[in-house]
């Protein structure tokens, strides 16, 4: 059985002329490792790893100018 944990990745972008950021894209991530695995969760399609921090679905935020892997290596 595969791991039941997942994450929602939201990539933000700056709004010109303001100090605000808005969502540019969203991706639902799913851990493809076996259930009960050790270490971080991993979505092989997106090549992103994350820690669950006690939540079955974790929210991951990053800015469009920064590689996602810098946030969640």
Rounded percentage of the chain residues whose pLDDT exceeds 70: 90
pLDDT digits (tens, 9 = 90+) for 22-57: 888 899 999 999 999 999 999 999 888 999 878 899
Task: Report pLDDT for 25.
Answer: 87
- For 1-73, strand residue ranges (E) read 6-14, 21-30, 41-43, 48-50, 57-63
Mean pLDDT of 56-64: 87
């Amino acid at each position: 059985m595969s791991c039941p944990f997942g994450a929602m990745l939201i990539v933000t972008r700056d709004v010109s002329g303001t100090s605000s950021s808005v969502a540019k894209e969203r991706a639902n991530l799913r851990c493809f490792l076996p259930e009960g695995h050790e270490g971080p969760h991993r979505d092989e399609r997106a090549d992103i790893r994350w820690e669950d921090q006690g939540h079955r679905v974790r929210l991951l935020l990053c800015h469009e100018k920064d590689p996602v892997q810098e946030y969640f290596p």
